[in-house]
Amino acid sequence: MKTITQRELAARSTAVLDDVEAGETYHVTRNGTEIAELRPLGTRRRFVPVDELWRKWRAAPAVDAARRRAEADGFFGGGERDGGDRG
């Protein structure tokens, strides 16, 4: 973590943001008091590899369809399932 003044941030914003993008965290001060933290956003993946999806799917608990249906009916009040008027 680095500390930088508001004035330094304004003067070197491009370089500071490049550092943040590379993983650095800055605390910004004004008149000697820390007022903000500038840090990278959490890393977000744009895709999940297929092998990871398969591992997670295989490790997921089994779903009991009849139990799930009973829970849904209990929550939503049962109702007709033949495509009747829902609205």
Global pTM value = 0.48
Helix/strand/coil for 70: helix
pLDDT 10s digits, 16-63: 999 998 889 999 999 999 999 999 887 667 788 899 999 999 999 999
Residue spans of alpha helices (H) in the chain: 6-11, 13-21, 50-59, 65-76
CATH class of the domain comprising 2-38: alpha beta
Domain ranges of the chain: 2-38
